[in-house]
Amino acid sequence: MTRTRGFWHPGTHHPAVDHGGGLPWPRPVEVERVLGFAARNGCKPFQGGHLRKTLVIHYDEIALKGRNRGAFEDHLVRGVREITRDLGPVSVQKLYGRILVRGKDSELPLPALAARVTLLPGVRYVLEGGETGQDFDAILQAIEDSLPPQEAVGTFGVRAKRGDKSYPLRSGEIERRAGAHVLERRSWDVDLVDPDFWVRIEIVNGRGLVCTERHEGPGGLPTGASGRGIALLSGGIDSPVAAWMMMTRGLRLTGLHFHSAPYTNQRSQEKVRDLARHLARFQPSFELTMIPFAEPIQQAIVTSAPQKYRVILYRRFMMRLAAHAAAAAKAGCIVTGEALGQVASQTVENMATVEAASSLPVLRPLVGMGKAKIIDVARRIGTFDTSIEPHDDCCSYLMPRSPATRSNSDELDEVERVFDVTALVEESWANRQSETLRQESRL
Ligand code: ATP
Ligand code: MG
């Protein structure tokens, strides 16, 4: 049985994350108790039997952001509130570098809540557990109540963290005593590197938390901390990966897809919608805008421009429409799934020629990645299977036989003279359709 799992590093344990060194506890150990501590500190003593189920979110780089820390934490708190909104009243509390989440009136099913919260950018890991008072007896009792049967596991480890440094026991001492308590009840071996069963104790602000499940999050920065961006989503493998990568750098994204109906079938739009629904698990909601591209833009290009420039011209028009989408969403950048040299259109020269038509910075998080790495991320974030479903990207009528691999923007400015660029862009923008996708309730 492994009690540490997560989406980013499934089933793996991170010694570097929260585990210091430490020696196994000597046994037998005399179990001293911190009796009277609860009364002195005005905490309610543990009532026994009932623990309040709580998630403890530990965040990633936010902690390093110095004076901006408060703002970064607020972005994450907002994200947690938004993504749990449909689940009923949820209490989200910021405490000592952690965020505590639980049902307000009733208890929510913790694993389902954890599954949702763990995917949020900025979350390093989430612990699932129960809350007691700070009284050490109560903590030991809670640990005892959450132990699996003797035969279920062979090894265990205890980790303690004090958010509240006024607590009379240091973390190492808490670990030793709690470990000794477990050893009195189970004859397991101690393993502090990769045990079958972890007991994690957190002391925060009048609370003791005893957690036995850990889920790994993606880390990075919380949604909105870096502003907003427009993600160009094509329906392939790369663009959802690029979107996810920038989401974990704190961008709140709006998706933009150009479709070539009636030359492509309905399913290709449905596929992009499915991908956007996947991405809606990583930010509280995901807006997707679809723009018909065959008419008038592609038609005009096919009719009036040299064939070899078609793809570059399509991309330049995409940039212009993305700028409209950015203005509407108050976004400051465009995100694409381009990787250098992956296909003929993705040369440095062509990237420059396309970007010259953009008034905003174009972020290409995959630019230096090979296909195998990109596929690896696509599998981890769950978009791969949808991305490889067959779809008509663009029909052969609209594609050139041999696309230009080199170009420059002066050349393209010249080619575009035959078009009324502004009118084409305005007309296409007016034909857009937008929808907001949210994570479906799974509780
Ligand atoms: P992907 O796997 O994302 O489809 P790709 O390897 O097929 O990428 P291209 O088709 O050259 O590469 O597209 C490069 C990038 O341009 C895409 O990752 C995407 O960001 C954007 N893009 C391409 N086609 C479209 C489209 N129809 N709608 C929106 N964005 C697009
Ligand atoms: Mg593609």
Pick the more confident residue, 438 or 295.
295
How far is it, in rounded angstroms, from Cα 419 to Cα 191?
A: 70
Q: Which of 274, 316, 303, 283 is nearest to 428 (CA)?
A: 316
> pTM for this structure?
0.86
- Say yes or no: CB of residue 345 within 6 Å of ligand 1: yes
Q: What percentage of residues in the chain have a pLDDT greater than 70?
A: 85
pLDDT in tens, 45-69: 333 346 789 999 999 766 566 777 8
Q: Which two tokens stand for residue 282?
A: 């990583």
In this predicted structure, the answer to whether residue 371 has a pLDDT above a threshold of 60 is yes
70 CB-near residues (< 8 Å, 6+ apart): none
pLDDT tier at 5 (50, 70, 90 boundaries)?
Answer: very low
Q: Which two tokens stand for residue 146?
A: 């959450």
How far is C-alpha 374 from the chain's CA centre? 16
In this predicted structure, the answer to whether residue 80 has a pLDDT above a threshold of 70 is yes
- Say yes or no: CB of residue 334 within 6 Å of ligand 1: no
The Å distance, Cα 329 to ligand 1 centre, comes to 21
- Say yes or no: CB of residue 342 within 6 Å of ligand 1: yes
pLDDT at 64: 62
Residue in 232, 244, 388, 433 to alter for ligand 1 test, most ligand atoms within 8 A of Cβ: 232
How far is it, in rounded angstroms, from Cα 6 to Cα 125?
A: 8
- The protein residue whose alpha carbon is closest to atom 4 in ligand 1 is 236
- Say yes or no: CB of residue 157 within 6 Å of ligand 1: no
Amino acid type, 202 = E
Q: Which two tokens stand for residue 276?
A: 């956007």
First-residue to last-residue Cα distance in the chain: 24
pLDDT in tens, 228-265: 999 999 999 999 999 999 999 999 999 999 999 998 88
- Say yes or no: CB of residue 355 within 6 Å of ligand 1: no
Scored b (16 or more CB within 10 A) or e, 34-45 reads beebbeeeebee
pLDDT at 353: 95
- The protein residue whose alpha carbon is closest to atom 7 in ligand 1 is 236
Cβ(276)–Cβ(286) below 8 Å: yes
Half-sphere exposure (CA, 13 Å, Cβ side) for 10? Answer: 7
- Say yes or no: CB of residue 391 within 6 Å of ligand 1: no
Average pLDDT score over the chain: 85
Which ligand is closest in space to the CA of residue 290?
1
- Say yes or no: CB of residue 383 within 6 Å of ligand 1: no
How far is it, in rounded angstroms, from Cα 162 to Cα 377?
A: 34
pLDDT tier at 13 (50, 70, 90 boundaries)?
Answer: very low
- The protein residue whose alpha carbon is closest to atom 10 in ligand 1 is 234
pLDDT in tens, 331-365: 999 999 999 988 777 899 999 999 999 999 999 99
7 CB-near residues (< 8 Å, 6+ apart): 118, 119, 215, 216, 217, 218, 380, 381
The structural architecture, per CATH, of the domain 228-438 is: 3-Layer(aba) Sandwich (3.40)
Q: Residue 375: exposed, middle, or buried by beta-carbon count in 10 A (0-12, 13-18, 19+)?
A: middle
The Å distance, Cα 72 to ligand 2 centre, comes to 34
- Say yes or no: CB of residue 134 within 6 Å of ligand 1: no
For the domain bounded by 4-216, which CATH number is listed?
3.30.2130.30
The Å distance, Cα 258 to ligand 1 centre, comes to 10
Ligand 1 atom nearest to 345, measured from its CA: 11
Locate the domains of the chain by residue range: 4-216, 228-438
pLDDT at 111: 84
pLDDT in tens, 178-227: 999 999 999 999 999 999 999 999 998 888 999 999 999 999 999 999 99
pLDDT at 346: 87
How far is it, in rounded angstroms, from Cα 326 to Cα 256?
A: 10
pLDDT at 151: 96
Q: Which two tokens stand for residue 357?
A: 């038509």
**DSSP string covering 337-380, please?**
---TTSSTT-SHHHHHHHHTT-SS-EE-TTTT--HHHHHHHHHH
- Say yes or no: CB of residue 233 within 6 Å of ligand 1: yes
pLDDT at 399: 85
The Å distance, Cα 29 to ligand 1 centre, comes to 63
Which ligand is closest in space to the CA of residue 232?
1
Cβ(273)–Cβ(437) below 8 Å: yes
